[in-house]
Amino acid sequence: MFDSNQKPTGTGYTSTVALLAVAFVFSPVVLFISRPVGYVTASLAIACSVLCAGWAWVNWKKSSQLSIPSIANETE
């Protein structure tokens, strides 16, 4: 019924969601809290957000490659 040698179906999106949370929630909140906002802190926050969003995109693309076995093989 269940084959233990099958590859996972690519549903490991936890790190992708965590990276998006850092990029779009945590980094702007830290920037808002660290008043006064200068060019250096704003640049660091933007760089952190872009880096985390890019890393999340790479994780998404890697996890989205499904490797589900063919249904035709299951009818044997």
| Structure confidence at residue 36 as a pLDDT band (50, 70, 90) | confident
**Can you give the C-alpha Rg of the chain in angstroms?**
20
| Structure confidence at residue 11 as a pLDDT band (50, 70, 90) | low
CA atoms within 13 A on the CB side of 75: 3
Q: Structure pTM?
A: 0.67
> Residues 37-61: pLDDT tens digits?
889 888 999 999 999 999 999 988 8
pLDDT at residue 60, rounded to an integer: 87
Cα gap 9→68, rounded to integer Å: 6
**φ/ψ bin of 69: left (φ > 0), alpha (ψ from -120 to 50), beta (otherwise):** beta
